[in-house]
A = this chain, B = another copy of it.
Amino acid sequence: GGAVLGAGTSAAADADNLPPNIPEWMKAPGEPMGSQPYGTPSPFGKNVVKNISPNLKQYISASGRTPLQELDGIITPNGLFYERHHGGVPTIDPAQHRLMLHGLVERPLVFTMDDLRRFPSESHIYFLECSGNPVYTKPYGKTASDLVGLLSCAEWTGVSLKLVLQEAGLKPEAKWVVAEGADAAALTRSIPIEKCLDDAMLVYSQNGERLRPQQGYPVRLLLPGFEGNMNVKWLRRLHVTAEPIYSREETSKYTDLMPDGSAREFSFYMEAKSIITRPSGGQRLTTKGFQEITGIAWSGHGKIARVEVSVDGGKSWQDAQLQEPVLTRALTRFRLPWRWDGQPAVIQSRAIDETGYVQPTLAELLAVRGENHFYHNNAIWPWRIAADGEVTNAQA
C-alpha cells in the first residue's frame, strides 16, 4: 500500500522491529507514569509545529500558523493554535489582572478573574481566523498552512458578554464597545453593540484548560465569525461608547483597499471558505488507487450547508460528506472518497453556507476587489497533482 506522505514522514523501516521480529519497544518497559505531568507529542511528531516564517521583518508583531495539513477532525490542539500578536505575548499574573468596564454604563465595574469565573458559563466550538489569510498577490504559499494557516478551532468556555454588560447596566446611547488588550500594543478594537449583546463571549478556557498565553491568557474576547483581530486577547478594558474609536487596528490595518482608492472599514465577518488539506501542497501521493480527499470548511455567517469538490480542474463538482455535527461558526470537516488514476489532476473544494453564499474563485474576487485589498480573501484554492504524485499550489 501507499499513502499521502506529509513532509515529516520518517525514513524506511529498520527491519529489526518488523514482523516476524519483536520490536525493541516491547522488550523493555516504557516511560514510567509521571514522566510527563503535562503530556507532549511524540518525538516522532516534532516536525508538527506552528508554521513560522524564518524571514519575518521582526517577531514582536507577527504571526504563526497552524499546520492545517497535518491535522484531522475539527479541533485544533492548543499547542498548535495559530498566533497573531502586535506587541509580543505578555506574561500576565491572573491574580493581578483586572477587567474594567466603563463608559456609557450605569455602574462602572472592575472584575477579577475569579469574578469572571463566577458568572454563568457557556462553551461553544468556534473557529477563529485572521482576516489576512491569505493575501491576494503572489508569491502564494506552498502548503495549506502557508495559505490559510491563520485559522484554528477550539471549544471555548467563558461568560456571555451580554451578562457582563447587564451587570453594569447599559445606557441607551451605548452603541459600541471598545475592547483593549493588556499587551504591549494595548490592542484596541471597536465592537458593535449588537454583536456584544448576541453571541459575544469573554472566554477564559480553550479546549477545557485555561487559555494559552498566545491566545489571551487569562481572558479574551470571542466574537464568533468576526475577523481574528477583533477577538481582543489579554482583555483588560471594555469601554462602552456611542461610536467606534477608530483605533489604528481598524483604520490603518484591517481595512480593505479597493481599486479606486477607497477602503472598506468595519468589515467584520469572515465569509464562507474551504480548503482541501489532504492531499495538499507539499504532500505526495505514493500510489494510485483509493485516496480520501479531506479538508475543512467554515463560515462566519453560520453553518456550512454543503461542500463541493472537483477533481477535474473545476469542470464537475460532487458533494463531499460533512462531519457531524455541523456546528455554527466552527470548522466543518469534509471528506470525499476518490480513486487516483495516476494522471495529473487539479482538485479543489468550495463551501456553501446556510445563507446560500458560495465560496468564490480568486479571479472573481480580484475582479471586484483588486490586488491591493489584502484582507478577507476567501477564494477557492486548487491543488495540482502531478503524474509522480507531487501536490503543488495550482495558482502559484
Contact = CB atoms under 8 A, between A and B. Distances in A.
A49 B35 CA distance: 12
Interface stretch (A56-64, A262-270, A302-310): A56-64
Contacts of A23: 92, 96-97, 182, 236
Contacts of A122: 323, 335
Interface stretch (A67-75, A142-150, A367-375): A67-75
A42 B91 CA distance: 8
Contacts of A62: 32-34
Contact of A81 (B39, B91, B333): B39
Q: How large is the interface on A (under 10, 10 to 19, 20 to 34, 35 or more residues)?
A: 35 or more
B209 A207 contact: no
Contacts of A64: 33-34, 37
B119 A292 contact: yes
A112 B1 contact: yes
A48 B3 contact: no
Q: How many copies does the complex hold?
A: 2
A234 B83 CA distance: 32
Contacts of A44: 92-95, 217-218
A358 B31 CA distance: 40
B59 A118 contact: no
Contacts of A91: 25, 30-31, 42-43
Given A2-B118, A208-B71, A30 B95 contact: no
A239 interface: no
Nearest to A36: B214
Given A9-B114, A36-B214, A73-B205, A96 B325 contact: no
B42 A212 contact: yes
Given A26-B182, A44-B93, A52 B77 contact: no
Given A3-B112, A39-B78, A73 B207 contact: yes
Interface in A278-316: 286, 290-292, 294
A198 to B, nearest CB: 17
A1 B37 CA distance: 33
Q: Which of A12, A34, A98 has the most CB of B within 10 A?
A: A34
Interface string A327-368: 100000101010000000000000000000000000000000
Contact of A77 (B78, B186, B217): B78
B33 A184 contact: no
A98 B81 CA distance: 31
Interface of A: 1-5, 9-14, 17-19, 23, 25-45, 48-50, 52, 56, 58-60, 62-64, 70-81, 83, 85, 87-98, 100, 110-112, 114-115, 117-123, 154-157, 182-184, 186, 204-205, 207-214, 217-218, 234, 236, 286, 290-292, 294, 323, 325, 327, 333, 335, 337
- Interchain residue pairs A-B with the least CB separation, the first 3: A3-B114, A30-B88, A72-B157
Given A25-B182, A33-B63, A42-B94, 12 more contacts: A1-B114, A3-B115, A25-B183, A39-B50, A39-B212, A41-B78, A44-B93, A48-B210, A72-B121, A74-B208, A77-B78, A77-B207
12 contacts: A13-B93, A18-B98, A19-B98, A23-B236, A25-B90, A32-B59, A37-B64, A38-B79, A42-B92, A44-B94, A73-B208, A123-B323
